[in-house]
Amino acid sequence: MSEYVDNFSTEIPIESLKILLRLGREFYFDPLSSIESEEYFIKLLKKCEGDNLESWLRSAVSKNFLFLESRPEWIQGSEWQFSEGKPMMFVGQINLSPQKTGLHDDAVFYVFWDRESGETKTILQIA
């Protein structure tokens, strides 16, 4: 039987990552959910000013992870979308039952929008 080897790596320092994971639970993002997300947070950490990293990050995240009415209610893991290296605005979600979709489980469409470019992205999660 072979031994399990964890090859996980990130450029985000572990103490910063712990803070980002806590903030992610509060603001509904995952700093490691995509390459775009990880790159965004690496760049953000390079801009950090002051001694209180968590407070500074909380302020930055609250200004950049925006939503029109409410935050996403992910049925799987967070998949916050990015455009041109920045978080997109969460517009809303459409919850659909198996009876409506013909799928075996519930489905949720998550809609994101970049105000500057007009770009939209839609994510589908099934659970």
Does some domain include residue 4?
A: no
Does some domain include residue 103?
A: yes
pLDDT of 62 strictly over 80:
yes
- Interatomic CA distance for residues 18 and 29, integer angstroms: 13
- Domains in the chain: how many in total? 1
* Rounded alpha-carbon distances, angstroms, from residue 46 to 43, 50, 60, 64: 5, 12, 12, 16
Counting Cα atoms < 13 Å in the Cβ hemisphere of 78 gives 23
Judge whether 107 and 125 are in contact, CB under 8 Å. yes
Does some domain include residue 1?
A: no
Does some domain include residue 18?
A: yes
Residues 6+ apart with CB under 8 A from 54: 19, 22, 23
* pLDDT value at residue 2: 63
Does some domain include residue 117?
A: yes
Q: What do you get for the CA distance between the two ends of the chain, in Å?
A: 32
* pLDDT value at residue 34: 96
pTM: 0.87
Average pLDDT value for residue range 69-79: 96
pLDDT one-digit tens code per residue, 1-35: 567 666 778 999 999 999 999 999 999 999 999 99
Name the residue range of residue 25's domain. Answer: 14-126
pLDDT one-digit tens code per residue, 85-117: 999 999 999 999 887 887 789 999 999 999 999
Q: What is the DSSP letter of 51?
A: S
Task: List 125's β-bridge partners, or say none.
Answer: 108
